[in-house]
Structure 1
Amino acid sequence: MRHLLGFIFIVLIFSCNGDRSERNPFLQEIGFRFDLNLNLPEYSPLTNTGNAIYVDNVGVGTRGAFVINIGFNQFRVFEASCPNHAPNSCSTTELSGQTAICSCEDYEYSLFTGQLLNKPEGEGRFYDMLEYRATISGNVVTISN
């Protein structure tokens, strides 16, 4: 009985792995912190649910970031570089309402979820947008990684 319990314990230890996600080989995860003061005109669209902005300040992500107000004082932030190829001249996605569009392949991504909306048929691994953290304190949204 004791050997059986020991075997089960060993199996449980080796089968538990908290990180099952595959890292995106095209994007580096760059550390940064940037504050968005919602009282400033350039960030004030974020005071309304469903509005998104592009933050292209130096040091924010690889190619900037998209920030969207998803309602109930919550925000989501995604890397602006297309996650399905290495950064190049056309890989910075463009804001189009509540989606981001990559002009290289016309991939479209939801800014509410970060998911690729028009996944090509066929085999191959396709990545959703790289998400960053967003916290709010008063009228300041802090985005970071």
Structure 2
Amino acid sequence: MKYLPHLFILTLFLGCSKDSADRNPFLQETNFRFDLNLNLPLYNGLNTIGNPVYVGNNGVGLRGVFVMKTSIDVFFAFEASCPNHAPNSCSTMSLNGQNVTCSCEDFEYSLFTGQLLNRPDDGERYFDLLFYRAVQSGNTVTISN
């Protein structure tokens, strides 16, 4: 019984520790919040499933955000900077249908899953797209981190 407080403290420390192995060392996560009005022509394409939109406003993500409606009421938002190297002159990805491509090394990522589609088989660790929250309320989709 006298070891119960020590066991509790040990459990608390272990439960609160964060594994840095899951963090992407190339992309600094920034806090932001941005509302997309689906009635505006700029974001009206998000009313259709599988039609991605690039949001490049200042302060939205690091290099902007790709947003796509993936089902009736689900939206996904991903960082526009390639997750497999530090942001540089070629790291802002471009839309290629429902995928995005990084021109630095031609990595291609799915906007339905965020996964790297042409992952090299060289034993190195590669990261998928950095995911942001996207929540719909009426005709507004709020993306945030």
| Distance in 1, Cα, partners of 2:72 & 2:17 | 30
The reply on whether 1:44 has 2:36 as its aligned counterpart is no
Aligned to 1:23: 23
| Distance in 2, Cα, partners of 1:15 & 1:86 | 31
1:21-79, CA deviations, whole angstroms, 9 ceiling, x for partnerless residues? 51101000000010000000010000011110000000000000000000121100000
The reply on whether 1:132 has 2:132 as its aligned counterpart is yes
Aligned to 1:66: 66
Aligned to 1:98: 98
Q: CA deviation at 1:91?
A: 0.3
The one-letter amino acid paired with 1:123 is G
Q: Secondary structure of 2:35's match? A: strand
The reply on whether 1:110 has 2:128 as its aligned counterpart is no
**Residues 84-93 or 13-22, more deviating:** 13-22
Identity %: 59
| Distance in 1, Cα, partners of 2:18 & 2:55 | 29
Q: CA deviation at 1:19?
A: 4.9
Q: Secondary structure of 1:77's match? A: strand
| Distance in 1, Cα, partners of 2:15 & 2:58 | 39
Aligned to 1:119: 119
User: Aligned pair count?
Assistant: 143
| Distance in 1, Cα, partners of 2:72 & 2:61 | 25
User: Structure 2 length normalisation: TM-score?
Assistant: 0.88
Runs (4+) off by over 2 Å: 12-21
User: Structure 1 length normalisation: TM-score?
Assistant: 0.88
Report the aligned-residue RMSD. Answer: 2.1
The one-letter amino acid paired with 1:126 is Y
Q: Secondary structure of 2:81's match? A: coil
Q: CA deviation at 1:17?
A: 6.6
The one-letter amino acid paired with 1:138 is G
Change (3 A) 1:59 1:25: same
